[in-house]
Amino acid sequence: MTVPVSVPPAARRPSPLARVLLTVLLVVAGLITYTLAPLFIMASDACASSSDGGICDPDRQQLIVLLPQIGAPLITTAALIGTLRRDGRAGFGALGLVLLLAIWIINAALV
């Protein structure tokens, strides 16, 4: 029978340099997502006024614009709060980056 070894709390927290780098990466990724992901709507430029399927659907166009405009600030803020708390973990930042990537994938799938 093995005795469980506990890891000291200081070993689980990211170093201050890692927190700064993760913070910068999160802010840059959030800003890029916020500003560039809504440009997927330009795929609807070729839609005729009578077409209503796929990217030409007005509801889909609205979702393509609003998802990054609302999701990116919320995800970035939540990930920064989770990472920069006194007992914050780097996992919150990594999760935020994965969710920002998910916004790009969802927008690409909707086009």
pLDDT digits (tens, 9 = 90+) for 2-22: 777 665 655 566 688 888 899
Contact assessment for residue 110 and residue 63, using Cβ atoms and an 8 Å cutoff: yes
Q: Is residue 84 part of a domain?
A: yes
Q: Is residue 26 part of a domain?
A: yes
Q: Is residue 103 part of a domain?
A: yes
Contact assessment for residue 76 and residue 100, using Cβ atoms and an 8 Å cutoff: yes
Q: Is residue 5 part of a domain?
A: no
Q: Is residue 33 part of a domain?
A: yes
% of the chain exceeding 70 in pLDDT: 90
Average pLDDT value for residue range 89-104? 90
Number of structural domains (the chain) is 1
As given in the structure block, the two tokens for residue 60 are: 């889909």
Long-range contacts of 9-15 (CB under 8 A, 24+ apart): 9/87, 12/89, 13/87, 13/88, 13/89, 14/83, 14/88, 14/89, 14/90
H-type alpha helices, 14-111: 16-36, 58-84, 90-110
Q: Is residue 72 part of a domain?
A: yes
- Kindly report, residue by residue over 45-74, the tens digit of the pLDDT: 788 777 777 788 888 889 989 999 999 999
Q: Domain range holding 73?
A: 14-40+53-110
Q: Is residue 22 part of a domain?
A: yes
Contact assessment for residue 75 and residue 96, using Cβ atoms and an 8 Å cutoff: yes
As given in the structure block, the two tokens for residue 61 are: 């166009």
Q: Is residue 92 part of a domain?
A: yes
